[in-house]
Amino acid sequence: MFLTIKGLAKSFGDNKVLKGIDVEVEKGQVLSIIGPSGSGKTTLLRCINALEQPDKGIITFDDGFEINFENKVSKQSIQSLRRKSGMVFQSYNLFPHKTALENVTEGPIIVQRRNSKEVKDIAEGLLEKVGLKDKMNLYPHQLSGGQQQRVGIARALAMEPELMLFDEPTSALDPELIGEVLNVMRDLVKEEWTMVFVTHEIQFAADVSDKVIFMDGGYIVEQGTPKEVLKAPKEVRTQQFLQRVLNPS
Amino acid sequence: MKMYPLNNKLFTITANMEGWELFSNSLLPMITGAIQATIPLTLISFILGLVVALLTAMMRLSKSSLFRVPAAIYVSAVRGTPLLVQLFIIFYGLPSIGVTIDPFPSAVIAFTLNVGAYASEIIRASILSIPKGQWEAAFTIGMSKGTALRRIILPQAARVSVPPLSNSFISLVKDTSLASLILVAELFRKAQEIAARTYDFLLLYVEAAIIYWVICFILSLVQAALERRLDRFVAK
Ligand SMILES: Nc1ncnc2c1ncn2[C@@H]1O[C@H](COP(=O)(O)OP(=O)(O)OP(=O)(O)O)[C@@H](O)[C@H]1O
Ligand SMILES: [Mg+2]
C-alpha cells in the first residue's frame, strides 16, 4: 500500500473534528473524499501534509517513512512528510508578487535548489500542459480564477511530489471555468498520479475515482468503489447526503 | 553652548530688514538648514528606524516571551512618552551620567527609536494581514518558516506597509523641527534664529511652515505614485 493512515484523530479545542480515520491509498489510485460541510474533509487532507498537526494517528508510506503523531514529531519529519505531497487549494493561494512562471519555479529553485535553467524549462513545460504557456509572464491578478488554479496545479507538480492533494479545487470558480480545471485533473488521472481529492463534484468523482470515501461527523461512514458508494450506498447517511447534493430543491 | 553663525558669504540678514526682502533673504538659510539637517536627520533616522522596526516586529511575533516581552516594553515606552521628553533625556539628561552626545547624533538616536517603535507596529500589522493561505502555500512547496517569511510574506507585507510608512515618513519630516530645541541647526532653528534678531516672528514662522509644506507636498506625490505601482501585487 502506497499510503496508510491509521487512527487519525484531530480536535480543535473541544471540537473533535476527526475521530479515528483509517485510509489506504494505492500507488496511482485516485481517492475522492465527499461529505457534508464541516465533516472534517479539509482537516483530513491537511493532516496528510501536516498543515494541521494531528493529535493521534500513524501515517506510513510504502518506502518505510512513518510518522506517529502520538510521539513528539520533529521539524525534519514534518518536512519529509510535506515533501511527499503537493497541495492544490480551494482559494489557489498563488503568490501575488510573482508571475505564473515564478510561482511554479519558486519551490524547485529555492527549496530543492535545482538548477534554475532546467527548472525554468520544466516549469514552462508544466504551464504548457495546463494550457497557460502564453500567460506565464503574467501576475496572478491578471489571470482568471480557472487560470490561477491551473497555475496552482503546475506549482504543485513542479515539486515532483509522489502524491497530489486537492481541496475542492473548483468550488471557488464560476461554473464556466470549472471544466478547464477538471480537464487538467483528468490528464493527471491518465498519467496515473496518486491523488486525493476533496470534492463536491459528485459526477467528476464518479468518473475518475478508484475509491470514494464518505465522511460525516469526523468518521468515515462508508468507503468503496464509486459504484458502491455513489450509485448504491448502503448507509442511510450517505443516501441522504447524495439525495441532497444531486437533487437540490 | 555652541553658536551658529547667521551670516556668511552667501547671505546677510540685518535687524532692520522686513517684508519681502526679509522673506527672500531668509529663504536661503532656511533651505540650507533643511538640506544640511532636516533632510539628513529624517533620512538617517528613518532608515535606521526601519531596521530597528523590522527586528522589533520579528521579536513581537516570536513564540518566545524572551523576545516578545522586551520588544513590547520598548514599543510601549516610546509610544507612551512625548518625543520632546525623549530628546531632552538623551541630550540634556545623559550628560549627568557622563554620556555627552552632540545635538545631531542625539536627534538621530531619539528619532530612530521613535520610528523603530511606531513602524514596528505597522510592519507587524502588515505581516499579520497577509492571508494564512500564503504561509500554507509556502509550506506545501517545502519552505521553512524563515524562508516563507523572507520570500513570500515580507515582500507582500512591505507593499502593504508602504502607505502607513509613507505617512510616518512625512510626519517625521515635521517632527524633526523638535530637534531645534536641542540645538540642531535645522530648518526651524534657522527661522528661530533669524526671528530672534528681526522680531518678525509671524513672517519667519509662516515662511518655515511653507517650506515644510512644500517638502511634504512633494513627498505625498511620491507616496501616491509608489502606492499606485505597488497596489497590485498583494493577496486580497
Ligand atoms: N483551524 C481551525 N480552528 C478551529 N476549528 C477548525 C479549524 N479548521 C477547521 N475547524 C473546524 O473543524 C470542523 C471541520 O472542518 P473542515 O474544514 O475539515 O470541514 P469540511 O468537511 O472540509 O467542510 P467544507 O465542506 O465546508 O469545506 C469544522 O467544525 C470547523 O469549524
Ligand atoms: Mg473543506
**Terminal CA-CA length for chain A:** 41
Which residues in B lie closer than 8 A to residue A85 (C-beta atoms)? 140
What's the full length of chain B, in residues? 236
Atom 16 (ligand 1) nearest CA: A40
pLDDT in tens, chain A (249 residues): 999 999 999 999 999 999 999 999 999 999 999 999 999 999 999 999 999 999 999 999 999 999 999 999 999 999 999 999 999 999 999 999 999 999 999 999 999 999 999 999 999 999 999 999 999 999 999 999 999 999 999 999 999 999 999 999 999 999 999 999 999 999 999 999 999 999 999 999 999 999 999 999 999 999 999 999 999 999 999 999 999 988 876
Confidence of residue B234 (pLDDT cuts 50, 70, 90): low
* Model confidence at B236: pLDDT above 60: no
Taking an 8 Å cut-off on Cβ atoms, the answer to whether B142 and A85 are in contact is: no
Percentage of residues of chain B with pLDDT beyond 70:
92
For residue B98, the model assigns a pLDDT of 92
For residue B24, the model assigns a pLDDT of 82
- Ligand 1 atom at minimum distance from A45 CA: 18
Distance A99 CA to ligand 2 centre (A): 27
Helices B187-198 and B19-33, axial angle in degrees (round to 10) = 150
For residue B126, the distance in angstroms to the closest alpha carbon of chain A comes to: 15
Contacts of B212 (CB under 8 A, 6+ apart): B173, B174, B177, B187
Q: Return the residue in A95, A111, A167 with the most chain B beta carbons within 10 A, the one to mutate for interface testing.
A: A95
Its ipTM equals 0.94
Distance A18 CA to ligand 1 centre (A): 10
Q: Is the CB of A45 under 6 A from ligand 1?
A: no
Q: Is the CB of A247 under 6 A from ligand 1?
A: no
Between CA A30 and CA A3 the distance in angstroms is 12
Contacts of A3 (CB under 8 A, 6+ apart): A23, A24, A25, A48, A59, A60, A61, A62, A163, A194
pLDDT digits (tens, 9 = 90+) for B102-113: 999 999 999 999
Would an 8 Å CB–CB cutoff place B11 in contact with chain A? no
pLDDT digits (tens, 9 = 90+) for B19-32: 887 878 888 888 88
Cell reading at A173: 470558480
For residue B3, the model assigns a pLDDT of 44
User: pLDDT: is A235 or B4 the higher one?
Assistant: A235
Average pLDDT, chain B: 89
pLDDT digits (tens, 9 = 90+) for A124-164: 999 999 999 999 999 999 999 999 999 999 999 999 999 99
Q: In chain A, where are the structural domains located?
A: 3-246
Q: Is the CB of A37 under 6 A from ligand 1?
A: yes
For residue B10, the model assigns a pLDDT of 45
Distance A41 CA to ligand 1 centre (A): 8
Phi, psi of A142 (to 5 degrees): -95, 5
For residue B11, the model assigns a pLDDT of 54
Q: What is the CATH number of domain A3-246?
A: 3.40.50.300
Cell reading at A44: 483530513
b (16+ CB within 10 A) / e for B110-140: bbbbbbbbbbbbbbbebbeebeeebbbbbbb
Q: Return the residue in B136, B139, B140 with the most chain A beta carbons within 10 A, the one to mutate for interface testing.
A: B140
Confidence of residue B5 (pLDDT cuts 50, 70, 90): low
For residue B25, the model assigns a pLDDT of 81
* Model confidence at B36: pLDDT above 60: yes
For residue A246, the model assigns a pLDDT of 84
User: What DSSP line would sit under chain A, residue for residue?
Assistant: --EEEEEEEEEETTEEEEEEEEEEE-TT-EEEEE--TTSSHHHHHHHHTTSS--SEEEEEETTS-EEETTS---HHHHHHHHHHEEEE-TT----TTS-HHHHHHHIIIIIS---HHHHHHHHHHHHHHTT-GGGTTS-GGGS-HHHHHHHHHHHHHHT--SEEEEESTTTTS-HHHHHHHHHHHHHHHHTT-EEEEE-S-HHHHHHH-SEEEEEETTEEEEEE-HIIIIIS--SHHHHHHHHHHHS--
Residues facing A4 on adjacent strands: A24, A60
- Do the Cβ atoms of B172 and B111 come closer than 8 Å? yes
Which residue of chain A comes nearest to B146, CA vs CA? A111
Amino acid A185 reads M
